[in-house]
Amino acid sequence: MKEYIFKLELFPEDSKKHLPIYFDVPEGAKEIIIENTLEPRTLDLEESKKLVKKALAIYINQGDSPLDIKNIPEKTLNEIIKNFIPVRNLINFRIFDSHGDFRGTGDERFSKGVPIKIGEKVSSYGCVEGKIYSGKWRMVIETHAIVKKCLLNLKIKINKEESGNLPEIFNEYIPVVKEPTTKNGWVAGDFHLHSLHSDGKLSLENVIKHSIKRKLDFIFLTDHNKISGFQKIKNENYKVFCGMEFTTFYGHFTSFGISEYIEWDVIDLKNGIRKAAELVHSQGGIFCVAHPFTMGDPICTGCRSTLNIDWKYVDAIEIWAGSFNKRRYENTEALKLWRSLLNSGYRITGLGGTDMHTPEDVTVDSPITYVYVEELTLENLLKSLKEGRVYITRGPKVSFSINEANIGERIRLKDKKANLKYSCEENLDLRIYYNGNVITEIPKTSSGNIDFFLGNSGYVYLEFWKEKELYAITNPIYVI
């Protein structure tokens, strides 16, 4: 019916840009097909190794046991580098119809050159099917990383009939849990995972089945820069809630409980996170800083936070991302930041998330986040998240109280004398933090009852360790 061809020559200085492309859709169109080639997609081996080594040097020089890359034997270093090569030119797109509504992104399919469809009845994963309105459509090319001069050849085909034989098409969602359930008290969940609708490897159904296998009571689906996957979940009785990961050029930020799409480019060097956080809050949602110290450009482009964050707009921070041991450098650095924020008077909830893209991402030392609710509803979850009624564990359940206050609650400084009670399902090494300092360490303990005096307002929380491995961490009880 109609075809558009665009050729974009891109250079390293074109990285981190939003490049708009406009095209007209005639009356009667039933689908839009987007195809691309990118030459080259990746760097050669030696070029890749140099960039990986530079990013790796920054990554491992942080946390509770920083390491100078010069001290890593060359053979070991080369084995590590293999996990991150080849480095690629990373380009994505997002597209809006003539009404200004979000209609999809490309993600892994665009990176691999797989045709992407937006149809009246059926669409590719990550895209929104529905009426193909006539008029001017807008595509935004996102140059996350141009590590080498490249040529993007883009073809947009507009057809009168829908194609029936394209790869990676989303058809119909099939509910996993047939009957509704209710639960209250401490409920287990995952606040950070991805499906085929962005760059995850599991369908929505298999994400839920995997979560049930992990004995989780709920999950937040946080696909990159979209909520289209969640919008396809129909008649599902497992507790799946809507979230989104703002996957920006300068950091990743998760949001929980939003109901409408939010443009991710509102996060930039000029505005920081303020506009995005305000938009999330206007929908009653929670705004969270995700894995702020993970591997950065150009290995995981934009994954590491480089913004000057105004923390008064932040509700939560991911202090335990994925495997604690594999990501120890970033997780222990995030713990240090969290304590610093608490010391500065911010009541920011510490969260865990697997950041699951494949089932292999969930390991024995990955976090499960427990939230205390009167009943497992979205409203109650968001309320408890905001209050900090949360603890994170790789397995053992824990409890913690001071006088009559529990995790996330407040006690008054006038009480002075404090009675702290704790329990843990395993014998672990306990560290009690009071205003950023360890005031008590108890080895190999599962329960106890401690009296101490409150000298200053602030916060108290617990960490449970086994040698150098974190097993569980609570959010604070605040002293006011």
244 touches 220 (CB < 8 A)? no
Average pLDDT over residues 35-63: 95
Residue type, 167: P
Residue type, 362: V
Say whether pLDDT at 3 is over 80.
yes
Cβ neighbors of 206 (< 8 A, separation 6 or more) are none
The pLDDT score that the predictor gives to residue 432 is 98
Q: Where are the domains of the chain?
A: 2-41+88-170, 45-84, 185-395
- Greatest pairwise CA separation for the chain in angstroms: 78
β-pair partners for 458: 479
48 touches 148 (CB < 8 A)? no
Say whether pLDDT at 461 is over 90.
yes
Could you tell me where the DSSP H helices lie in 304-416? 328-343, 378-387
CATH architecture classification, 2-41+88-170: Sandwich (2.60)
**Rounded Cα gap, residues 397 and 22, in angstroms:** 54
Residue type, 92: N
Say whether pLDDT at 415 is over 90.
no
DSSP assignment, residue 42? B
Phi, psi of 330 (to 5 degrees): -75, -35
DSSP code string of 221-274: E--BT--HHHHT--S--SEEEEEEEEEETTEEEEEES--S---GGG-BTTTBTH
- Tell me the CATH number for domain 185-395: 3.20.20.140
- Using pLDDT thresholds of 50, 70 and 90, give the confidence band for residue 1: confident
| 164-206: pLDDT as tens digits | 788 889 989 999 999 998 999 999 999 999 999 999 999 999 9
Whether the ω angle into residue 298 lies within 30 degrees of 0, i.e. cis, is: yes
Look at the chain and count its residues: 480
Tokens of 249: 């050029």
For the chain, what is the mean pLDDT? 96
For 298, how many CA atoms within 13 A lie in the half-sphere containing its CB? Answer: 23
The pLDDT score that the predictor gives to residue 216 is 98
Q: Buried b vs exposed e over 31-55: b needs ≥16 C-beta within 10 Å?
A: bbbbebebeebbbeeeebbebbbeb
**Rounded Cα gap, residues 222 and 245, in angstroms:** 5
Strand bridging mode 239-248 / 218-221: parallel
- Using pLDDT thresholds of 50, 70 and 90, give the confidence band for residue 320: very high
